[in-house]
Amino acid sequence: MSVIKGFLTVCLLATSLIACATKEGAEKNLPRKEKVSTAVSAEGFNQVSRWILACRVGQGGFGCYPGDSAFTTRTGMALEALQSMGEVGSLSGKKELAEWLKARQLPDGGFFEADDYYLGKKLPWGSVSALEPTYWAVHALAILGEKPSDPKSCARFITSRKSGNGGYDAYEYAWGGAKEALYTTFWAVAALKELGFPVPDSAKTVEWVRSMQDTHDMRGGFALSNDNFKYSSVSGTYYAVRTLNLLGTEPKRPREVKKFLLSAYGQEPDGGFEVGHGDNWNNFDHYSRMQDTYGAVYALRLLGLPLSDSDSSRASRPMSDCAAWLASVENPDGGFGRLGRTDQTPLASPSEMRATWQAVRAFDLLEFPLPQIKNYVQPVSEVKIHQPLHRHPVVDCGDPCEVWAYRRIALPIYEYYLARTGSKIEALGMISRWVRAAVGPENGAWITGGRGILMHEWGQCGAMSWLFQALATSVDHASRGSFVIGDVNCEILVQEKSWETPHWCLFIPFTNEYPDYRLAAPDGKRSGWSVLDMVVYYQKRLENLDYPSMTRLGDHLFAQVRVETVNALNGKWGQEFKMDSLTTYESPVVRELYPEGSW
């Protein structure tokens, strides 16, 4: 790491500061696009670009990883990254790519992400058009020197998503967990600007965006969405600052923004930036993530307060350490992972388009060159066809690309920790920790299926539970959701070597935990702890308060539980069952939920 830091520092000292020239309508305080590609291969593209190009599907769009199907958003991210490295001009098939993008515009004017992205559901406005793919399609076409086939209907779709308070509808991801969000507001404003259309009642939008700095904790950051949590977050701050900049203004308290981003809720000692969670639940938020590192660097640059080694944060050299952290999460294939190696996620995360785009842009904004990879591995199509043993409604098990999108993350973690510990529960527990890091938490988001759970990086306990179930499905474990007061967790069907039969075991991603499977449950058996075991255990705690707590979440929350079953044969949601403080091992509901004593 010290070698990388030293290399980056030398490069920084050799690079003069670039004046911030802007054009009308463009974001202010950004460096000019005069980048020279580094680490160039024999074929003319640098190592990062080669990974990005490996994600392309024919002459059409780009996916999340090499071999994936194409997505509108990932196509836009790929093009912006290539533009940032000065390599769009060398891209083949630009005309075909532009036509592919234009064909994704629907009759209502908006653009869609991918076929059946919402697993058969439509959004409240009667289509699958959404603001995120609409922004990225418009932006990608602009990079290619093109416009949508029908710009006016595109603008009408965008403005129809505007709420009375000035924010823009967040249903496409929050699914009712938040009415408006800063991310959808940014996508809307940025797309309208790119199209050359005015933002309706922009003063109202400015007022609403600025109000999101008035969070419960008042630390100077912005909340990501208009929900009942309203915690400061780095991502919320990024989207707020970008939106306000496009509208020609800034936050009410810009200096407090930088103070927040350099505080204990912003930059980490390793140089990256964390989620910035306002309530600091369980101290599980203090690890660097690519999304937040990119967002912090971008926000500070737009405010005219760019990250500097003379700043004061938990990093000894805030700017150089930030660049070093970015370099540390690059993989041998040239792509970047979304998370660094920490106690929370000790293994490297695989390369993903979103993280790679963010890393390229962050290096650009810091005015650091891309690092060279000494042991470079040529990226190739990754997909290994696998049919999960148990189907699940969160995952399209008939789509090899979707199954692999989850399995490429879960399988290395699972196999490594299974070999190291000999326990499937402990291996699944490490996947659960990855989920906790990947999701946040930051805001209310109730999307319950499809690739969106994996492709976004925010939510709450529900998003964690469903993402964990999807990852568990990819490594051949049946799973189902369980709901207690204030938390969504899940049960995974596990059979350890010493167990005669499989048992449903409770996992709580939100608090990084599962009850100790080595301890006897209330029935005297050592076969993991199910939700039922926790319900019965809570009854014993009421009788004797000296009983130790089995969870950090709080055993008392298991006084009332709902379990949503899944038909593992057809992958459909099943019946929902309820348990409470009167439930015993002999209750009728137990025969339905735990056949053959599988608690």
Digit-coded pLDDT (tens) for 177-222: 889 999 999 999 999 999 999 999 999 999 999 999 988 778 899 9
pLDDT at residue 45 in the model: 81
Choose one of 366, 386, 408: the last residue of a domain.
Answer: 366
Distance of CA 324 to the CA centre of its chain: 22
Q: Which residues contact 448 (CB under 8 A, 6 or more apart)?
A: 175, 393, 394, 462, 466
Which domain covers residue 435, as residue numbers?
400-597
* Of 366, 388, 413, the domain-final residue: 366
Range of weakest confidence among 20-29, 32-41, 439-448, 453-462: 32-41
Provide the CATH number for the domain around residue 118. Answer: 1.50.10.20
How far does Cα 586 stand from its chain's mean position? 42
In a domain, 374, yes or no: no
Same domain for 190 and 145?
A: yes
Question: How confident is the prediction for the chain on average, in pLDDT?
Answer: 90
Strand partners, 233: 222
Q: Are residues 281 and 430 in the same domain?
A: no
Predicted confidence band of residue 174 (pLDDT cuts 50, 70, 90): confident
Three-state DSSP at 168 gives: strand
The position carrying tokens 């060159």 is 369
Number of structural domains (the chain) is 2
CB hemisphere CA count around 5 (13 angstroms):
14
Do 411 and 320 belong to one domain?
A: no
Q: Phi/psi class of residue 196: alpha, beta or left (left: φ > 0; alpha: ψ in -120 to 50)?
A: left
Are residues 476 and 349 part of one domain? no
- Which tokens in the block code for residue 555? 């055993």
Q: What Rg do the C-alpha atoms of the chain give, in angstroms?
A: 24
Q: Which of 316, 347, 366 is the last residue of a domain?
A: 366
Token digits for 525? 């058996």
Residues 6+ apart with CB under 8 A from 67: 380, 381, 382, 383, 401, 404
Contact between 176 and 121 (Cβ < 8 Å): no
Report which of 295, 132, 321, 312 is spatially closest to residue 221, judged by C-alpha positions.
Answer: 295
Asked whether residue 499 falls in the same domain as residue 353, the answer is no
Q: Is residue 143 part of a domain?
A: yes
Beta-bridged to residue 180, according to DSSP, are 169
Give a yes or no: residue 146 inside a domain: yes
Q: Are residues 341 and 239 in the same domain?
A: yes
Q: Is residue 413 located within the same domain as residue 299?
A: no
The verdict on whether omega for the bond into residue 441 sits within 30 degrees of 0, i.e. cis, is yes
- Same-domain status, 420 and 337: no
Does residue 164 belong to any structural domain of this protein?
yes
Strand segments (E) across 416-501: 479-484, 487-494
Selection from 185, 245, 226 nearest residue 30 by Cα: 245
pLDDT per residue over 487-501, tens digit each? 999 999 999 999 999
Residues 103 and 165 in one domain: yes
Residue 19: inside a domain, yes or no? no
Q: Which residue has tokens 């702890």?
A: 529
Q: Can you tell me the distance from the alpha carbon of 490 to that of 413, in angstroms, rounded to the nearest whole number? A: 19
CB proximity list for 275: less than 8 A, separation 6 or greater: 233, 234, 235, 285, 289, 292, 440, 441, 442
Domain identity same for 200 and 318:
yes
Residue 515: other Cβ atoms inside 10 A:
22
> Are 337 and 409 in the same domain?
no
What gap in Å lies between CA 49 and CA 70, rounded to an integer? 17
Asked whether residue 162 is assigned to any structural domain, the reply reads yes
- 73: its two tokens: 């958003």
* Residue 20: pLDDT band with limits 50, 70, 90: very low
User: What percent of the chain shows pLDDT beyond 90?
Assistant: 77
Residue 371 lies in a domain: no
Judgement on whether residues 296 and 426 belong to the same structural domain of the protein:
no
pTM of the prediction? Answer: 0.92
Write the CATH number for 517: 3.10.620
477 within domain boundaries: yes
